[in-house]
A = this chain, B = another copy of it.
């Protein structure tokens, strides 16, 4: 298990160069204010560890309403789109809340040692999920901060952020695979989310998959070839989205040859991998290339041994339960399972994924029109 406190500290550190004002705003419903992330990840430990195991009194009775995300079993909570209306508690109060709960967690760790082995095991699991949960929100913090700052007229940079304006793409060569039964999913003793389990067999027909991600230059060709104006390249839902939202380029391509990045406005590097595209755009690009997106099983067969990548890669697999899927027990059953509808899987990790958080069986998921995550395009072919 990773160290609780160092993971906790990292969340605060990511935000440390923000202005107070930046912690508060919510440009769209799908973005959460940084302050909310700092409160919510703390609420996790207060609710599922301290309250559950020690019946602790709430730090502040309003926080249970304000910092619950979507756990219906935990009662009413502020609607997702109204997080940006909460000026109170202040950032400073939320940081105090974090310190308080961290202190209580340290005490709890010593007290839990006196409990029976089953309780100790459950505690350990809930804390471990909490640490990984915190790390997921660290990646979300980068996504949401980037979105918030991109909405400001002065387009400020985020000091200390990973470099997202220049990424590597490997060669355009293909890896080839022969049909057969493959194993997929997590079976090791260490931590993995419920949705990555159980390891099971899948049959894959012949396929090949490209070594390097699609580059900005390749995507620019697609645009130049009228890619955003040709319905025959698009899924019907994607085409409706392109028209309704007047989409004409990847997110953060702000002007010809320019993009917004965590380093501020930068030239678009033709050789870097295209980023911040939706699954609809990835799919249209692949069709234009007379290719397709990989399934997640194909992806895992091909890249199951590789380290965390710089960009997530859209697959054409819906986020659905593996055969034999069992959700986390208790209130954490809501962690993943209830989102298995309408969303698509991304694989591979990205430059904003915290160290120690990634596994090659990791199933990230978003709705197919979303593109504020660090997402790129991997091509596949039969």
Interface string of A57-97 (1 = CB under 8 A from B): 00000100110001011000000000011111111000000
A81 to chain B, nearest CB (A): 11
Interface residues of A in 303-358 (CB under 8 A from B): 316-318, 320-321, 323-324, 333-334, 338-342
Encode A18-39 as 1/0 by CB contact (under 8 A) with B: 0111111111000000010000
Chain multiplicity (copies): 4
Residues of B near A55 (CB, < 8 A) are: none
Interface assignment of A376: CB less than 8 Å from any CB of chain B: no
Which B residues touch A170, using CB under 8 A?
none
Q: Closest B-chain residue to A231, C-beta based?
A: B72
Give the shortest distance, in Å, between A249 (CB) and chain B (any CB): 21
Contact-size category for A: 35 or more
Q: Does A133 contact B (CB under 8 A)?
A: no
In chain B, what residue has the closest Cβ to A339?
B236
Report the stretch among A9-17, A106-114, A202-210 that lies at the interface. A202-210
Docked-complex contact B324 and A341, CB < 8 angstroms: no
Distance (whole angstroms) from the CB of A171 to the closest CB of chain B: 25
The chain A residues found within 8 Å of chain B, CB to CB, are 19-27, 35, 62, 65-66, 70, 72-73, 84-91, 148, 151-154, 156, 179, 181, 200-205, 207, 231-232, 234-239, 280, 292, 295, 316-318, 320-321, 323-324, 333-334, 338-342, 368, 382
